[in-house]
Structure 1
Amino acid sequence: MSISLSTLRAACAAIVLLFAYSQPAAAQLVFKPTADAVHEDQLLKTLKEGDKITGRITIPDPMARNLIQPAGKDWRDFQRHKLPIIGGVAIIGMLALLAIFLAVRGRVRVEHGLSGIKILRFASFERFTHWLTATCFIILALSGLNISFGRVLILPLFGPDAFSTLTAWGKIAHNYLAFPFMLGIAIMFVIWIKDNIPGKLDLVWLREGGGILKSGEHPPAKRFNAGQKGIFWMVVVGGALMSVSGWFLLFPYIPANVTALQFWTVVHAVIAMLFIAGILAHIYIGTVGMEGAFEAMGSGEVDLNWAKEHHSLWVEEEQAKGHVPDTGRSRPIPAE
């Protein structure tokens, strides 16, 4: 049987075409990932820490190239799961401890009664700085807590419309009140740093529990005792960290990349929870926790007997300057 040349050519062409089309199909069958073969989590885990899946852009914004950032999943999990635990333990835990302490210890009273003699503790400018910083902090704390947990705690109570309005105004307040808060922290550092340097006397104060754990025990202290120095440095250091991290959040293009921005978000949130817990203790001891304490930042003047019990060395310094009459042990005000 003879085969024509044209038939042979056609057969060869068919074989070549069949081989050419079968190779991509085989390659596609072997190497194309499917939903059953490869999951998204497995693909993301193959990326090294800090790697991103990026695209091409024509605008001068390098962050806009990021399509997928696997580290963002860890950041999201922290915001949704770990941060509420940190906030709950810090804030609710502190409130519980203060309630237990008040129930067991009761209010710290002036042991010898109020004398009726006043001594200037804080000048007008000092009180202005304190209340400027405190007012800004309270609004920043409430608005920040709403930003972090409002969708879970506030939204179901007030509904989407009221929650949206509250959050929008809270965000504006949070952004703009950050600046006077930072100013207040800086002024407090300048005017009070000289009285808040830790010393050996503070160890005695701490060893004796500051005179608030047991009645009748009042360790000597200068203008600020060890507890107040602790609050001062908490405010200064915590305020500085909040200011730096908050600055990066206000101006998100300052950090080099999204990963750095997420880092500062975590720092801002964690420090805020600890900061709020510490300030709750400060508010407690300055109001319901101790008799005569609020007047220091209220009118600026405190009772002489209160000052002698809690800041005896400072009273002696003021008497030496002639700012306080030396009356010996001040007599208590008779009960009416």
Structure 2
Amino acid sequence: MRCHARIRCFIIVALAILMMIAGNPALAQTLGPDGAPNPTASKMNEQQLLQQSPRIEGDIDQPIERARVLIQPAGRAWDYFHQVTLRWIGAIAILGMIAALAAAYFIMGRLRISAGRSGKKISRFNSFERFAHWLTAVSFVILGLTGLNITFGRITLLPLIGPEAFSSMSQIAKYLHNYLSASFVIGLVLIIALWIRDNIPRKVDVDWVRQGGGFIKSKHAPAGRFNAGEKLVFWFALGAGAAVTVSGVLLLFPFYVTDIAGMQIAQVVHAVVAVLFVAVIIAHIYIGTLGMEGAFEAMATGEVDLNWAKEHHDLWLEQQLNKEPLAARSGPSSVPAE
């Protein structure tokens, strides 16, 4: 009797389950014959499917190891970083730097030569040094703009110019970014070789910082060929340049050295360092052009006004004058750049 009672109970429960499934087609679709989730169902919870491990595990006959990866959960974190986190980092760093420089300009104005122009010139950078600088600078500007297009182009340019124009522009930008990276690396290596000796930190740099870097008009900030601020930019450019170069090579030649996870790390490093690099160089460009009178001439013509050199690089000027007396005339000086 007990056996018959158990059989009747089982039949009743089975019929109840069948009636529930028949009344809920979505549930019937999501469950397979063995009661496990059906991965081909039109309505399937992804998390529910992933929880079926080891049922979803298996083998694949694919000779290329990286092609065997069908699902990589870390890719979701990388995608969120690229689509959300990186945009916030870039916007805060770049727009924050622009806002800070704009505030400095409206508060302090342009840093003028306090004694006025003397009309006498002294050579600061020779032609080869200027070539190395401009090779690096032009390459960096193009790399920066084309790289920012990858991060911000979809939310800024795409709505303005449309998908076809944006697609064509992005294709050109990709080629420029890939190929001009070589000229940037060459220029960076030349700059390091030319100026690393003059950018070694010295005691005078501490004094420069204490005197406010020359931005406090009542105080004089002594400096050699490069002041402490320029040295900070130099060493930052060296470190950031090395980081974007190494990570960029890994991205240009995918899977030769690392796997998918390593590629994602390389892209994160490349992107974060690049946006910080852009923010720092914006400040460098501002000081060398709009922020300081006479500074741009050093890289435009290679010569600077004598009074400008006295105010901003007095120790370097003294060394140059001790080598050979300055010609007492306006125009190019006979004093060679160090």
TM-score, normalisation: structure 1: 0.83
Matched, 1:149 2:155: no
Aligned residue number for residue 72 of structure 1: 75
Contact preservation (8 Å) 1:55, 1:66: no
**1:324-335 correspondence to structure 2 within 5 Å:** 324-325=326-327
Asked whether the 8 Å contact 1:95–1:280 carries over to 2, the reply is: yes
Match of 2:302 in 1: 300
What corresponds to 2:176 in structure 1?
173
**Structure 1 unaligned residues grouped into runs of 5+:** 1-21, 328-336
- The answer to whether the 8 A contact 1:292-1:303 is kept is yes
1:200 is matched by which residue type in structure 2?
A: K
| 1:267 maps to which of 243, 255, 269 | 269
- 1:33 and 2:37 equivalent? yes
Residue identity in the other structure for 1:194:
R
Q: Distance in 1 between matches of 2:51 and 2:265?
A: 20
Which 4+ residue blocks in structure 1 deviate beyond 2 angstroms? Answer: 27-31, 38-47, 52-55, 323-327
Q: Letter of the aligned partner of 1:113 in structure 2?
A: G
Deviates most, 148-157 or 92-101: 148-157
1:277-298 CA distance string (max 9 Å, x none): 0000000000000000000000
Segments of structure 2 that go 5 or more residues without pairing to the other structure are: 1-13, 18-30, 330-338
Aligned residues with identical type, % of pairs: 51
CA distance in 1 between partners of 2:145 and 2:278 (Å): 10
Distance 1:219 1:173, change over 3 A: same
Q: Is the 8 A contact 1:196 1:232 kept in 2?
A: yes
- What's the counterpart of residue 241 of structure 2? 239
Query: Is 1:100 the counterpart of 2:106 in the alignment?
Result: no
Matches within 5 A, 1:1-336: 32-33=36-37, 39-41=45-47, 44=50, 56-58=60-62, 60-212=63-215, 214-322=216-324, 324-325=326-327
Query: Residue by residue, what CA displacement relative to the aligned partner does 1:188-225 show, whole Å, maximum 9, x if unpaired?
Result: 1111000000122111111222011x224221100000
Q: Distance in 1 between matches of 2:59 and 2:182?
A: 37
- What residue in structure 2 maps to residue 333 of structure 1? none
> How has the CA–CA distance of structure 1 residues 30 and 228 changed in structure 2, closer, same or farther, with 3 Å as cutoff?
same
How many angstroms apart in 1 are the aligned matches of 2:82 and 2:34? Answer: 40
How many pairs align? 300
Alignment TM-score, normalising by the size of structure 2 = 0.82
The alignment partner of 2:70 has SS state of strand
Cα distance, 1:323 vs. partner?
A: 5.8
Q: Is the contact made by 2:37 and 2:49 (CA closer than 8 Å) also made in structure 1?
A: no
Residue 309 to residue 43, structure 1, CA distance change in 2 (3 Å): farther
Supply the RMSD in Å over aligned alpha carbons.
2.9
